[in-house]
Amino acid sequence: MYFFVVRRRSHGAALSSEQLRQQTPIRADVHIGEHQSELLGRVSTQAWVFSPAPGADVIPRLHDAKITGMAQQGMNISGVEEIDGVLYAQSWWCRVDS
């Protein structure tokens, strides 16, 4: 399903309201599913931005992802992302693309 996605953290630290307003949302086909996670060494619910082109993820995928809030026009997905071998908390605000 297509959403406008805003990443709400940088290296695990929550962005301020001002920083969030300055973010340019990316239009993304967001998928969520249970898959084997090589990073965690087990099955994990993952959220990712689908791209039909081969290669790296558009933004780091969320491992142990869960929907932590939902309303009429969007949802918040939280989990952990891997950047340079380190796991950081991350949340995506996903606003409906209408």
Match 């869960």 to its residue by tokens: 66
The pLDDT mean for the chain works out to 95
**Is the confidence at residue 98, as pLDDT, over 80?**
no
How is the chain split into domains, by residue range? 2-96
Residues 3-30 pLDDT 10s: 999 999 999 999 999 999 999 999 999 9
Residues 43-84 pLDDT 10s: 999 999 998 888 888 899 999 999 999 999 999 999 999 999
Q: Give all strands (DSSP E) within the chain, no chain letters.
A: 2-7, 9-10, 13-14, 26-37, 42-49, 62-71, 74-83, 86-96
Whole-number Å distance between alpha carbons of 9 and 67: 16
Exposed / middle / buried, residue 34 (Cβ in 10 Å: 0-12, 13-18, 19+): exposed
